[in-house]
Amino acid sequence: MMRHQSVDCRRRAALLMLVFLPLAAVSPPRAAAAAGDPVVGTWATYQWTSSRTQEVPVLVQEQGAGGEVKWSVVRESAAPPPLFVTYSIVRGDAKTYVLQIVTHKVLDGPALSVTQVTVDRASGKALKSVIQRPKGLIATPENGLRPFRQSAVKGTEEPVEVAGGRFAAVRASYRDGTVWVSDQIPALGLVKATFANGQLELVRSGTAGGKDLLRS
């Protein structure tokens, strides 16, 4: 009689253990992020070279026959100096992520402007866009560039070499230009882009360390 009671108790204990197993042990594992998905902390820095020229004043020295020096100002067309732009993913959840765009006059120099665009993951549309100015945050039109994924780009496989290295990429038409897209590039997924008004080329990138400059 005592032996049967002991077996019955063991069976009940086993059933209780099955009922109260931690949820993590019976829940399916979380799927890993797909290649090219925006990941918080990733960043990429590019050099932007404008193809548009602007009129600039130039001081010209002229020397007359008698040795007299005259100065005059003329206007010439010149291309603006390159800018550096860093794209990073600084916040995110299951539905949205925040794409931060920081411009620099020189590499590693102080920020000229900081723009943050809150993007809907499902549609890729901007939900909000703000820029940091001396008076604080103000609403601003977003520039439209979004993180690219190779699987979403229809184009031709083509290696491309830039200052940031050599990458296997997909070359495709985009808006009024051409882009080279690679899932090897964090944050933006872009190696190079040429547009009617200029060219964007990767300088360097990282899989961690992207800082939220509007919350720090």
How much is the pLDDT for 80? 80
**More confident of the two residues 137 and 119:** 119
At 93, the pLDDT band (50, 70, 90 cuts) reads very high
41 token code pair: 């902390």
**More confident of the two residues 212 and 2:** 212
How much is the pLDDT for 22? 30
Write the DSSP string, 107-144.
Answer: TT--EEEEEEEEEETTT--EEEEEEEETTEEEE-----
Please state whether the predicted TM-score (pTM) of the whole model is above 0.75: no
At 215, the pLDDT band (50, 70, 90 cuts) reads confident
At 101, the pLDDT band (50, 70, 90 cuts) reads very high
pLDDT at 21 over 60: no
